[in-house]
Amino acid sequence: MDEFALIDKYFGGRTRMRPDVCVGIGDDAAVVDVPRGHQLVMAVDALVGGVHFDEAAAPRAIGHKALAVNLSDLAAMGATPGWATLLLVLPSVSEVWLGAFSDGFFALAERHGVALVGGDTARGPLTVGVQLSGWVPANRGLRRSGAGVNDDIYVSGTVGDAGVALRQRAGALSLTAAQIEAVHRRLDFPCPRTQLGQCLLGVATAAIDLSDGLAADLGHLLAASGVGGRVYLDRLPRSEVYRSHQIKLGWDTALASGDDYELCFTAPPQKRPRIEQLARELGVPIARVGVITAGGALHLLDEQRSPYALNHAGYKHFSS
């Protein structure tokens, strides 16, 4: 089967239709209508085989994750996702691989209302790139800048589970089969917080998605906002699996392992009731983990409220 027939079979014929897509797959470029009074929001991410994922990784998970990382970036802007383009660089064409990859991609695209409107396919070292566009109400999108002194710092979901999966894979932990399954799901099939991001428009003062670990990503938010922060480690939202291995994991896995794809955001204290309400309505746990300060640094405080130093060097050993 040639390239065009393959694109059609696995991608063109499977994408959802959106009424705002004027020209989709099949022409030289895609054309879409951006809703009136809104701004276009764009993100792109490359996943390179052997670097961002194991070449032997399940293609369904690769298809999911390639889109998920971009959905997470758009969520952090408070954007509504709409249209994706897909770059596929493949060493050889395997229909089994393409079938599973597109299953993973479209299952997630469907859940978030995303249409695939184009892409490019080439032969070469395995690389997958997704470009995702969406929109925000004009000049109301969330940014990393905007956090103010005394704002609360929040984190959605739980952090560290993907890191637990990597440590389990490295043989550093003994988990039950159910625990292994749970943490590997978090690593392979992250659930971007699209709805939460949109609901934070007009509520959060700043936001970032967690891809490199809370310490680094919150650090970016603080730097962009020109403020500091204090985080109480015992308030970090951790899963049952994490908490049952807390002694061995310590705090670094929750702070620095990455691949969480949760949102970290700030809001003034008067928004607390609204945020609690959002957590209930969306069924998304939201933890208040700290506060924004005037100094330009991130201070981590342990259970005794003593300063905690992240063991960066020691950590690298576990991250992939």
Euclidean distance between the first and final Cα of the chain, in Å?
A: 36
Question: In angstroms, rounded to a whole number, what is the distance separating the alpha carbons of residues 81 and 134?
Answer: 4
Choices 69-77, 112-120, 134-142, 281-289; region in contact with ligand ADP by CB under 6 A: 112-120
Nearest to 287 by CA among 305, 270, 306, 267: 267
Q: How many CB atoms lie within 10 A of CB 230?
A: 17
Question: Hey, which residues between 49 and 78 contact ligand ADP (CB under 6 A)?
Answer: none
Q: Where are the alpha helices (DSSP H) in the chain?
A: 3-7, 59-76, 95-111, 161-169, 177-188, 194-199, 214-225, 240-244, 246-249, 252-256, 272-282, 312-316
Residue among 82, 85, 101 nearest 6 (CA): 101
Q: How far is the CB of 192 from Mg ion (least distance, A)?
A: 27
For residue 104, the minimal CB distance to ligand ADP (Å) is 14
Task: Pick the stretch among 25-33, 135-143, 204-212, 236-244 that binds ligand ADP (CB under 6 A).
Answer: 25-33
Q: Which is nearer to Mg ion, 3 or 240 (CB)?
A: 3
| Closer residue to ligand ADP, CB minimum distance, 5 or 138 | 5
181 binds ligand ADP (CB under 6 A): no
Q: CB-wise, 86 or 162, nearer to ligand ADP?
A: 86
User: What are the tokens at 46?
Assistant: 């490359």
Residue 11: contacted member of Mg ion, ligand ADP, none (CB under 5 to 8 Å, by partner type): ligand ADP
Residue 40: C-alpha distances to residues 78, 157, 172, 183, 314 (Å): 12, 27, 44, 34, 41
Query: Is residue 232 a contact residue for ligand ADP (CB under 6 A)?
Result: no
Are the C-beta atoms of residues 169 and 247 closer than 8 Å to each other?
no
Question: At 83, which helix (H) or strand (E)?
Answer: strand 80-90
Number of residues that bind ligand ADP (CB under 6 A): 13
The yes or no reply on residue 101 touching ligand ADP (CB under 6 A) is no
Q: Give the residue with the Cβ less far from ligand ADP, 24 or 197.
A: 24
* Residues forming the site for Mg ion (CB under 5 A): 120
Among 95, 120, 234, 303, binds ligand ADP (CB under 6 A): 120
Q: Which residues bind ligand ADP (CB under 6 A)?
A: 7, 11, 25-28, 86, 88, 116, 118-121
